[in-house]
Amino acid sequence: MTEVLRRGRASLALSFFAQGAAFALLVTRIPAIQDRYGVSDGLLPLYLAAVPVLAGAGSVAAERVVRRVAPSLVLRWAQPVVLLALVGVGAGDGTVQLAAALAVFGLALGALDATMNMLGVSLQRAYGRSIMLSFHAAFSLGGIVGSSLAWAGAHWELALWVLYLPVVAVLLPAALVGSRWYVDGGKVVEGPAVAVPAPVPTPDDTDRLAFRLLVPLCLVMAFAYIGDSTVSNWSAKYLQDVLGSSEQLATVPYNVYMVTMLVGRAVGDYGVRRFGAAVVVRSGALVAAGGFAVVAGAPGAWVGMVGFTLVGVGLCVIVPQTFAAAGRLFPGASDAAVARLNIFNYVGFLVGSPLVGVVGDAWSYRGAMLVPMGLVLVTVVYARSFEAGEDRYGGGHERARAADVGRGGNGL
């Protein structure tokens, strides 16, 4: 593999790591943000919901912008904006400044998520084998680092800006320097085997994006994030209120879930290469659904923790492979496919927590855990959408290494 592609992979992994850290630093310090600005419990959900809504708008905007400029250029400037907005969240003086900082954070977040995954999909195409999970493993690692720093900030009672500023002072210049080596789909890189011209979008690609082929992947993405938000928002409350654990023990499942996501994603690409994406995604969905079933029927806290761990083992592979599948389905318009698909991660994030809360209040929280279980099982039905066909990675199916990444989305 050429040095250019290796550098491109490393620099993109750094961006995923920085994004994971920044997002974790925001969401894990929401109580401190609420206290600093005096946001009422009634208004807090509106502030929080605005971030994914605006992120969806940012993803739509990114799809349009990358028709004219390279995705790497959007990513290069979206990441510093996200990091600076994080400092703004911690350093503001009133709710107006908080609203402005969160709005900027959300818009830039959507553009950042979309373009990172665009470059990841196109780099995977250049490598000719599955590497997408490794980028999301870097995101998970960043999330663990960010949440650990947030814990330290809470423990030492640091002001938000005191916590955020040093982290941003390290990550921002590192991301800017690393951005020099991003590899775009439209850039031809001479490799050891062959240089493949960038796929050119066709009218067929445009039409297909608007219709049925992308819909199953959008549903899978949304349902996976409903499952993820269930764990992140409800695991501690479920263990404490339903399974009778201590307050300290109730914090463990999400930490274990994050570590499980990291480990699963770190090794998941090898499974995709060996068995194919459809098998890995189908297996992941079954394991995640089984985890929710264990949680729903758990007699005590320790069994509940095993269930949430299984959910992490299963869900860790689904989102990265959904982006990769979009790139394979629409090789001439992958940037647009990824940007549209990315919107549904925010849909799942928005829907998941309220959905579980409503079902839990109307029925029971044990019964509420069956809702994400059923939704995740839908992925098994749609697993055929992950079949790689001629682009199957792994084993004897791996393609000759391609030197061009193939930029998509110009025609949409």
Is the same domain home to 131 and 210?
no
Q: Is 28 within a domain?
A: yes
Q: Please state, in angstroms and rounded to a whole number, the distance separating the CA atoms of residues 37 and 369.
A: 34
pLDDT given at position 279: 95
Between 167 and 190, the higher pLDDT residue: 167
Among 57-61, 173-177, 232-236, 278-282, which stretch is predicted with the lowest mean pLDDT?
232-236
Is the same domain home to 161 and 211?
no
Q: Is 400 within a domain?
A: no
Q: Is the pLDDT of residue 73 over 80?
A: yes
Is the same domain home to 69 and 167?
yes
How does residue 389 score in pLDDT terms, banded at 50, 70 and 90?
A: low
Give burial (CB, 10 Å; 0-12/13-18/19+) of 345: buried
Is the same domain home to 164 and 235?
no
Residues 81-103 as b/e (b if ≥16 CB within 10 A, e otherwise) read bbbbbbbbbbbbeeeeebbebbb
Is the same domain home to 369 and 263?
yes
Using the 3D structure, point to which of 181, 214, 241 is the last residue of a domain: 181
pLDDT given at position 398: 41
pLDDT given at position 342: 96
Q: Is 404 within a domain?
A: no
pLDDT given at position 41: 83
pLDDT given at position 1: 55
Q: Is 238 within a domain?
A: yes
Long-range contacts of residues 101-107, Cβ cutoff 8 Å, at least 24 apart? 102/47, 102/50, 102/51, 102/54, 103/50, 103/54, 105/26, 105/51, 106/50, 106/51, 106/52, 106/53, 106/54, 106/55, 106/57, 106/58, 107/54, 107/55, 107/57, 107/58, 107/61
Q: Please state, in angstroms and rounded to a whole number, the distance separating the CA atoms of residues 318 and 302.
A: 26
Q: Is 188 within a domain?
A: no
- The average pLDDT across 32-48 equals 89
Residue 124's domain is classified under what CATH number? 1.20.1250.20
pLDDT, tens digit, 9 for 90 and up, residues 215-228: 999 999 999 999 99
CA distances from 128 to 5, 160, 188, 303, 392 (A): 12, 43, 15, 41, 9
Using the 3D structure, point to which of 181, 211, 235 is the last residue of a domain: 181
Q: Is the pLDDT of residue 187 over 60?
A: no
Is the same domain home to 168 and 228?
no
Q: Is 59 within a domain?
A: yes
- The average pLDDT across 400-406 equals 39
Is the same domain home to 215 and 303?
yes
pLDDT given at position 220: 96
Q: Please state, in angstroms and rounded to a whole number, the distance separating the CA atoms of residues 208 and 214.
A: 8
Is the same domain home to 115 and 257?
no
Structural domain count, the chain: 2
Alpha helices in 197-251 (DSSP H): 203-209, 215-237, 247-250
pLDDT given at position 403: 38
Is residue 369 within 8 Å of 238, Cβ to Cβ? Answer: yes
Is the same domain home to 177 and 236?
no
Q: Is 303 within a domain?
A: yes
Q: What is the dihedral of CA 404, 410, 411, 412, to 10 degrees?
A: 120
Q: Which domain holds residue 268?
A: 203-390
Q: Is the pLDDT of residue 368 over 90?
A: yes
Is the same domain home to 252 and 142?
no
pLDDT given at position 211: 52
Amino acid at residue number 41: D
Q: Is the pLDDT of residue 296 over 90?
A: yes
pLDDT, tens digit, 9 for 90 and up, residues 135-185: 999 999 999 999 899 989 988 999 999 999 999 999 999 999 999 999 987
Is the same domain home to 14 and 163?
yes
Q: Is 399 within a domain?
A: no
Is the same domain home to 360 and 252?
yes
Using the 3D structure, point to which of 181, 216, 237 is the last residue of a domain: 181
Instruction: Specify the pTM.
Output: 0.87
Q: Is the pLDDT of residue 123 over 50?
A: yes
